[in-house]
Amino acid sequence: MYRYCLKALGSDRLLFLAISADVHADFFQTEAVMELVADAKLRLLIVNLEKEEVTQWIE
């Protein structure tokens, strides 16, 4: 929804969904979720919560 609002406002910003590395490994690697992410063209920002750093950008 937020992505569509940005588009309606004419913004050229890219929207990323930030998730922890653990959630990415445990949930986002399942076949159904990977298909949903691809279909929705989601961009992911993977974060190591312990080190408080971004470990991966997935476009």
pLDDT for res 55: 97
Contacts of 55 (CB under 8 A, 6+ apart): 21, 46, 47, 48
The domain spans of the chain are: 16-58
pLDDT tens per residue across all 59 residues of the chain: 888 898 899 998 999 999 999 999 999 999 999 999 999 999 999 999 999 999 999 99
pLDDT for res 1: 83
Provide the whole-model pTM: 0.82
> Residue 18 forms beta bridges with which residues?
45
pLDDT for res 3: 84
